[in-house]
Amino acid sequence: LLAQFSQLAGVQPAKQIAFSFDIDGQRPLYPVCFLTNGGGVTEQAKADQLASWLGVRVTAEQVILSHTPIRLLAAGYGSAPVLAERRGCVADVAEAYGFRAAVTSAELAAAYPPSMLPFSSRAMPLGSAGVPITAVFVFHDPADWYRDLQIIVDAMTSGGVIGSRRSDMPHVPIFFSNPDMVYADDFPTPRLGQGAFAAAVQAVYEKVAGRPMESVNTFSKPSSLAFRLAASSLAAEAKEGGWKLRTSPEPSMGKRIRDSDLPFRAIYHVGDNIHSDIAGARAAGPPWVSVLVTETGVWRGPGNSPEVPAYLVVSDVEAAVAAALQRRQ
Ligand code: G3P
Ligand code: MG
């Protein structure tokens, strides 16, 4: 497919097509842009993994992870300590985004006596006293829900000074990277995702603090920001492939390119989750076209979702690409 795009580079058709792929629940075959609610690693690490799976070049700019939009917030929290929930190498991700004082839940757990987490095994030696937390960023699905739930509730009910009982607490905002209640992996049925953890955090916080949790933010699919970042990635990919774009400024992560300036008459987003992939592509509107796979991920049919109907319904990614290319004829 990339070869076809490079052939098109010379041809100056009025508008061509592009693809944005969900990852989990997919068998990616034709990499152009990967828009996933997965994460926990840097964009470069995910690009390298995709390149090794697919045997084609994949750049970090082609990968939009659940926490990629959080990069846009780092400037506001440059040196402020933030709690980065972690599985994988999220501390490296936070640092790569510019959070110079991110502390992970595992590091915080090690900074307090064992009585802080009576039911968690202490994997790290006791460290120095904790640091006041100014914000909580859940970059990726936590490995230890009990530990991270306890630490988040501690941080958000103590104005960020874990262990204190002051009443005049400054608000500590929380940002979740993705709202997926479930997602598909190799297990026969879907697994609980970060949206389930967020629901647990909100329910426990309301019981413990006696008030609802304020302004919970999520940034990945189905948010329009995630799809705008993907459109910028695709425009940059097209420009690198020699297409002449009418856009200015230069397409780059986060700068909004007007949909009318995109060089695509259709961007096929292929996904398995009706609440993230299909809802997001529908809300993003033209040139996005929602394509639902029915045999490899969360949604298993039969047919289209009556609740969030996709524009195209196919069995898997290969059928999705074939259907899209067929429509191009
Ligand atoms: O929500 C968990 C995540 O792994 C789902 O990824 O690629 O299906 O959006 P994806
Ligand atoms: Mg998926």
Pocket lining: 218 vs ligand 1, CB cutoff 6 Å? no
Pocket lining: 293 vs ligand 1, CB cutoff 6 Å? no
Q: What percent of the chain has pLDDT over 70?
A: 78
Q: CA-CA distance, 114 to 158, in Å (whole number)?
A: 19
How far from 319 is each of 106, 112, 292, 298, 323, CA to CA, in Å?
43, 53, 10, 17, 6
Q: Are 259 and 283 in contact (CB under 8 A)?
A: no
**Pocket residue to mutate for ligand 1, from 20, 21, 22, most atoms within 8 A of Cβ:** 22
Q: CA-CA distance, 32 to 83, in Å (whole number)?
A: 33
Q: CA-CA distance, 27 to 222, in Å (whole number)?
A: 21
Angle, to 10 degrees, between the axis of helix 145-156 and the axis of helix 194-209? 40
Q: Are 286 and 280 in contact (CB under 8 A)?
A: no
| 154 Cα–ligand 2 center, Å | 32
- Of 105-119, 160-174, 236-250, which gets the smallest average pLDDT? 236-250
Closest ligand (CA of 191):
1
pLDDT of residue 17: 79
The mean per-residue pLDDT over the stretch 63-89 comes to 77
pLDDT bucket at 123, cuts 50 / 70 / 90: very low
pLDDT of residue 12: 37
Alpha helices in the chain (DSSP H): 2-10, 43-54, 90-97, 105-110, 145-156, 194-209, 224-240, 279-284, 317-328
Q: Are 52 and 40 in contact (CB under 8 A)?
A: no
Alpha helices in 75-134 (DSSP H): 90-97, 105-110
The complex's ipTM works out to 0.97
Closest ligand (CA of 193):
1
The mean per-residue pLDDT over the stretch 47-60 comes to 89
3-state secondary structure string across 226-279: HHHHHHHHHHHHHHHCCCCCCCCCCCCCCCCCCHHHCCEEEEEEEECCHHHHHH
Tokens 């909100």 sit on residue: 202
| 20 Cα–ligand 1 center, Å | 14
Pocket lining: 299 vs ligand 1, CB cutoff 6 Å? no
The ligand 1 atom at the shortest distance from the C-alpha of residue 23 is 7
Nearest CA to ligand 1 atom 4: 38
**103 or 126: which leads in pLDDT:** 103
pLDDT per position as a tens digit, 223-267: 999 999 999 888 888 887 777 766 554 444 455 566 677 888 899
| 297 Cα–ligand 2 center, Å | 6
Pocket lining: 183 vs ligand 1, CB cutoff 6 Å? yes
| 298 Cα–ligand 1 center, Å | 10
Phi-psi region of 215 (alpha: psi -120 to 50; beta: other; left: phi over 0): left
pLDDT of residue 15: 65
pLDDT bucket at 189, cuts 50 / 70 / 90: very high
Cβ partners under 8 Å of residue 243, min gap 6: 8, 9, 16, 263
| 36 Cα–ligand 1 center, Å | 5
The ligand 1 atom at the shortest distance from the C-alpha of residue 273 is 8
- Of 147-161, 211-225, 238-252, which gets the smallest average pLDDT? 238-252
**38 or 105: which leads in pLDDT:** 38
The ligand 1 atom at the shortest distance from the C-alpha of residue 39 is 4
- Of 72-86, 96-110, 151-165, 248-262, which gets the smallest average pLDDT? 248-262
Please name every residue paired with 289 in a beta bridge, in sequence order, or none if there are none.
268
Pocket lining: 25 vs ligand 1, CB cutoff 6 Å? yes
Closest ligand (CA of 36):
1
Q: If you compute the radius of gyration of the chain from its CA atoms, what whole number of angstroms results?
A: 21
Q: What type of residue is 255? A: K
Whether residue 122 is predicted with pLDDT greater than 80 in this model: the reply is no
